[in-house]
Amino acid sequence: MHKEEIQSVKLNRSSIQIKENEYVGYQNEVYKISSIIDFSEVVGIDIKTKRAKRLRISDIKPISNGKDIKLPIFNDIGEYTDSEFQEIQKKYLAIEPLLSDHITRKEIEEHAEKINIHYTTLYRWLRRYQSTGTLLGLLPKPSGRKKGETRLDFATEEIMQNIISTYYLSKQKPSIQAVIRKINIECKNRKIVAPGKNTIRNRIHKLSEYEVLKKQGNRSMARTKFEPVPGKFESDYPMQLIEIDHTPVDLILVDDEHREPIGRPWITVAIDIYSRMIVGYYLSLSAPSVTSVAMCITNVVLPKDKLLLELDIDSNWDVWGFPETIHVDNGADFRAEAIKDAGLAHGINIEFRPVGRSNFGGHIERVIGTLMNAVHEIPGTTFSNIQKRQEYDSNKHSSMTFSEFEKWLVTFITKIYHKRKHTGINLSPEQLWEDGVFGEDAPVGLMPKPTDPLSVTIDFLPIFKRTIQKNGVNIDGINYYDHLLRSKINILDDDGKKKRFIFKRDPRNIKFLWFYDNETMEYYKIPAADQSMPDMTLWELESIKTHLRESGSRQINNIEILEAHEELNRQIEDASKKSKKARRAKQRLKNKDKEMVQQTLPKEILPKVQDDDFWDEDVSDIAEDW
């Protein structure tokens, strides 16, 4: 009964094909798309009345194909094993050349003979992929854990990844058997169940040849074989290749309530190499991480209409869909594997490249440079270096809040950067993007649109595995609870230990979690146990925890966090009051001096002295009081 009272989500990874002759739902009727007008509308033929109608793409819905294929496509990414992901990749590579609109049976049979797979098997894989709209449809068997087969917990995963990255990927070039022995010894010393031999082998085999060659001392061979020449790395159509990188923004922001400086934000930017369009971003006050990458990818994939509406920006940003490949600079964190798996579920190949090497032709660096040059015009900029900043006081001049800067940023992207001629392509990014989608030789057309934006978001959210206690679950000192969790308290895993369940959390609002129930294959929204907890970002939580540690607190719990949150607000308020009081006192003193000067000046001089000229230096101080 209580399950109906809280928000639940069954993941839907399908997408809507916006192409001619595709059937779609619109206002409870079924239409066949006859032509595409632009990024906003198509012409559809009502299958009952045969009348044509303009359909808004934002309101188009998918319809059932009637095949009702029962496949394990609703599982959380964390429920799949390494071997299952390898099976998905193998099948996808087999059907990839057949993913066109007008493939014939003869072509399927010829390809099947070429790759030595029976054509009926190949056709079955192709049908499952097309009917579900996700690579997870390529698993015909019931998925999830088999008896005795488990996904690794956090500690085991950490040990395995650490030994692989520091021991196997070294100039020692140890054998895989030596790596297995070392992992087993470390797990035994820490009293943790060791991963299976095949799990370790599979994880090593997933490493790129580039990474293995480079880390094992064959750097020149790796560079020659795999690294593109700077300036030569290009793509042939939109969404074929996306690059993602991070940078601190050259700007000091202020808080929403008291307009006091709070520091520089970080921005994660994604660009389309073909058109130079900025296809996604993530703005945060926390340093970049795999979470930043995940949130940026979510922004890339989803339509931007809702975002523009929330920011109150009258513009267009006609970008959505699933890229073929995404390159990310820096992926040392082992949790990057979870992002790769989420990408694979949506048909995206995500590659984390080595730290500190500009291997993509400098496109992303130039785009970031363009953004920062524009930022340098905002009061409170830190400029790009000390020489340019000189004596400029960034904190004193800071004026924009986080939300105000985000609106400025998206306005600049959509109204200036996208529409301005780009010297590298001799067109504006928006023009080339449109040509790549609608041009005569355009190979892709409109991108498939995600059916359910929330499912995409949940797939890429950071994952936590926790046991459930009587008071719920605790993450980062915050307790989360709902009666739904009570039935999961005493459940054991296959090893007889208390079962760890999957939770996900949005860093933009940690007031709630998403709990994955592997029995119903649904996610449930679990609120913070303390209902008085305000909406809070992960950055705010990190700031509070830092404050508590500096205050000498050893254990950080939910009550301390809430109390610290209130205390920090009081400190900001007090500081703001003191600052205002000091400025007012200073202004009163200046006003008094002014009166004294006026009283001592000869009367014949007074008319010649204009207030605006005489006290011009005080204008900024007066303005600050208002």
pLDDT by residue (tens digit) across 345-381?
A: 788 888 886 554 545 447 888 899 999 999 998 888 9
pLDDT at 206 over 80: no
pLDDT in tens, 262-304: 889 999 999 999 999 999 999 999 888 888 999 999 999 999 9
pLDDT in tens, 158-180: 788 888 888 888 888 888 888 99
Those residues whose C-beta lies under 8 Å from the C-beta of residue 248, and which sit 6 or more positions away, are 264, 265, 266
- The mean pLDDT of 238-255, rounded to a whole number, is 92
Among 402, 405, 403, 415, smallest CA distance to 377 is for: 405
pLDDT at 205 over 60: yes
- Given this model, what pLDDT does residue 363 score? 81
What is the 3-state secondary structure of 487-531? HHCCCECCCCCECCEEEECCCCCCCEEEEEECCCCEEEEEEECCC
Strand partners, 280: 270
Say which range, 42-56, 518-532, 588-602, has the weakest mean pLDDT: 588-602
If you average pLDDT over each of 43-47, 208-212, 574-578, which comes out highest? Answer: 43-47
- The mean pLDDT of 9-16, rounded to a whole number, is 85
- Given this model, what pLDDT does residue 387 score? 59
- Structure tokens given for 268: 């994660």
- Structure tokens given for 536: 């809070």
Give the β-pairing of 278-284 and 325-329: unpaired
Among 143, 136, 99, smallest CA distance to 14 is for: 136
Say which range, 24-33, 448-457, 565-574, has the weakest mean pLDDT: 565-574
- The topology (CATH level 3) of 241-452 is Nucleotidyltransferase; domain 5 (3.30.420)
Q: Do the beta carbons of residue 33 and residue 42 sit within 8 Å? A: yes
pLDDT in tens, 453-510: 999 999 999 889 999 999 999 998 899 999 999 989 888 887 788 899 999 999 999 9
Burial of 362 by CB count in 10 Å (0-12 exposed, 13-18 middle, 19+ buried)?
middle
Domain parsing of the chain, residue ranges: 2-59, 77-138, 154-226, 241-452, 461-536, 558-625
- Given this model, what pLDDT does residue 507 score? 92
- Given this model, what pLDDT does residue 592 score? 47
pLDDT at 616 over 60: no
- Given this model, what pLDDT does residue 430 score? 93
The better pLDDT of the pair 3, 17 is held by 17
pLDDT at 326 over 60: yes
pLDDT at 308 over 80: yes
Model confidence band, residue 100 (pLDDT cutoffs 50, 70, 90): low
- Given this model, what pLDDT does residue 65 score? 47
pLDDT in tens, 371-411: 999 999 888 898 865 656 666 788 888 888 999 999 999 99
Those residues whose C-beta lies under 8 Å from the C-beta of residue 317, and which sit 6 or more positions away, are 304, 307, 308, 410, 413, 414, 418
Query: Which run of H or E residues covers position 352?
Result: strand 349-353
Mean pLDDT of the chain: 78
Model confidence band, residue 578 (pLDDT cutoffs 50, 70, 90): low
Phi-psi region of 503 (alpha: psi -120 to 50; beta: other; left: phi over 0): beta
Of all residues in the chain, what percent carry a pLDDT higher than 70? 72
Of all residues in the chain, what percent carry a pLDDT higher than 90? 31
> From the centroid of its chain, how far is CA 574?
36
- Given this model, what pLDDT does residue 411 score? 93
pLDDT in tens, 43-84: 999 998 999 999 999 999 887 544 444 445 566 666 667 677
- The mean pLDDT of 133-143, rounded to a whole number, is 62
Say how many C-beta atoms besides its own lie within 10 A of residue 239's C-beta.
28
Would you tell me which CATH number, out of the four given (3.40.50.970, 2.60.40.650, 3.40.50.300, 1.10.10.60), belongs to the domain 154-226?
1.10.10.60
- Given this model, what pLDDT does residue 222 score? 56
Provide the sign of the torsion angle of the four alpha carbons 258, 249, 453, 69, taken in this order.
negative
Q: 267-270: list long-range contacts, CB under 8 Å, 24+ apart.
A: 267/368, 267/371, 267/409, 268/244, 268/292, 268/293, 268/295, 268/296, 269/244, 269/245, 269/296, 269/364, 269/367, 269/368, 269/371, 270/242, 270/243, 270/244, 270/296, 270/297, 270/299, 270/300, 270/326
Among 120, 138, 118, smallest CA distance to 129 is for: 138
